[in-house]
Amino acid sequence: METLKIYRKRLIPEECILLKDDILLYRDEHVIITKWVTLHPKKDLDHGLSCYFLEHGVKVSKFYDREGKLLSWYCDIVSYTYDKESDTYVFTDLLADVIISPDGFVKVVDLDELADAREQEMISKDMILTSLRQLNALLTIIYKGDFCRLQKYIEDQEEKSGQAP
């Protein structure tokens, strides 16, 4: 990823991992787009692309299986810190996620983890409020039929770089 370093920080399970094998496709002051192969092998999920929307606290990922078939769009609600000197981002998963299947079905998941994290004092009240507000903003985009605006960032990079499945 050139000099850029991206860490994925999870609260459940607790981990902070350098995404050293992710390939940077595009970056500006508003978005970062990467392509990747799954860190932990899964039955279906093999690889994908992710777009970090820095101003909105959302990471939108396009998930593919081994054959390059679209599995889903997966949206993580995130917060981040940035260290300019080392050009390092640490994205913290704020637990609430939205999955959009190829047929357009929308499912909100992991709100129970958000509640559990608060009960166990793993997440602050402010982080919960941020997560819920960012989730609401994302769902508003989706329900208005504007999710294609977010998808376009990834699809344009796939087309431009020949990275489609």
Supply the pLDDT for residue 115.
95
pLDDT digits (tens, 9 = 90+) for 61-96: 999 999 999 999 999 999 999 999 999 999 999 999
Residue 113 lies in a domain: yes
Report whether 151 contacts 100 (CB < 8 A).
no
Euclidean distance between CA atoms 161 and 165, whole angstroms: 11
* Domain span including residue 81: 5-159
Euclidean distance between CA atoms 76 and 61, whole angstroms: 8
Task: Take residue 85 and report the two structure tokens written for it.
Answer: 């000197």
Average pLDDT estimate for 53-63: 97
Residue 148 lies in a domain: yes
Answer whether residue 159 shows pLDDT above 60: yes
Residue 164 lies in a domain: no
Could you say which DSSP state residue 159 is in? H
For position 98, which CATH number holds?
Answer: 2.40.380.10
Residue 132 lies in a domain: yes
Supply the pLDDT for residue 119.
95
- Can you name the residues that pair with 100 across neighbouring β-strands? 73, 106
Residue 14 lies in a domain: yes
Residue 107 lies in a domain: yes
125-143 and 111-119 helices, crossing angle to 10°: 170
Residue 165 lies in a domain: no
Supply the pLDDT for residue 42.
79
How many independent structural domains does the chain possess?
A: 1
